[in-house]
Amino acid sequence: MNNTIYIYAHGQEVELKDRPCKVLIDDPGDYCEVVFVDTGQHEFVSRWALMIIECEWCKQPLIEIDFNRQYCIRLCNNGKCPLEAQQQGVRERSDEESKAYIQRRKDRSYTLTSAMGGDRRSKGATAEQARQRELRKARRDYQPWLARKKINYHKLKDLGYSSKEAMANSSDKRMRRLGLNV
């Protein structure tokens, strides 16, 4: 299932109109199976009844990702869009969807990774992900990159950005987008 969000807009079923959904199975014909994200209801509907929620700037389809147990956020996934990864909408989860989110979080495995001081728990990381993280930290350019990121973070904090905004925009690329010297 992809994360592109559609709105059921043009169909004959009145109770389904204006509800967000995701396509599960896209048949070669005119019909596809969708799941309505607010209730989890599965339906076969006409492809022509679905309308894409578009990015404000690039008009590409928005995707929906988990935020917390109460909300999902909608983002642009186009790498060339200036609004990439910026929130363009929020949807409140239903009770059933909230319970499913909590269960997914509980089912996430905790793996043990070896550290210099002994074993430690790495929340949600597989052994391969932990190995990749350690390799990334061992690269020559990692420490200078991390130092630049910290400097950029403090510059943004001094300019009045919140901690969350400063963290999100502390990369050199984002600083250039904001028009700040790097």
Listed in sequence order, the residues at least 6 apart from 84 whose beta carbon sits closer than 8 Å to its beta carbon are 75, 76, 77, 78
| Cα 138 to Cα 94, 114, 143, 175, distances in angstroms | 43, 15, 9, 25
Res. 114 pLDDT band, cuts 50 70 90? very low
Structural domain contains residue 132: no
**Residue 93, pLDDT score:** 76
What does the CA dihedral 50, 69, 156, 82 come to, rounded to 10 degrees?
Answer: -10
Total of domains in the chain: 3
Residue with the larger pLDDT of the pair 108 and 153: 153
* pLDDT over 70 (residue 155): yes
Rounded CA gap, 68 and 129, in Å?
Answer: 23
Residue with the larger pLDDT of the pair 152 and 73: 152
pLDDT tens sequence across 2-35: 677 788 887 677 778 888 888 888 777 788 888 8
Structural domain contains residue 127: no
Structural domain contains residue 74: yes
Domain of residue 94, residue span: 62-106
Structural domain contains residue 120: no
Are residues 35 and 68 both part of a single domain? no
* pLDDT over 70 (residue 111): no
CATH number of the domain that residue 36 is part of: 2.30.30
Are residues 47 and 67 both part of a single domain? no
Structural domain contains residue 160: yes
Are residues 20 and 39 both part of a single domain? yes
3-state secondary structure of 21: strand
**Residue 117, pLDDT score:** 44
Mean pLDDT, residues 142-168 taken together: 86
pLDDT tens sequence across 51-89: 888 888 888 888 877 777 777 788 887 778 888 777 777
Structural domain contains residue 133: no
Structural domain contains residue 57: no
Mean pLDDT of the chain: 77
**Residue 116, pLDDT score:** 40
Structural domain contains residue 112: no
Mean pLDDT, residues 30-59 taken together: 83
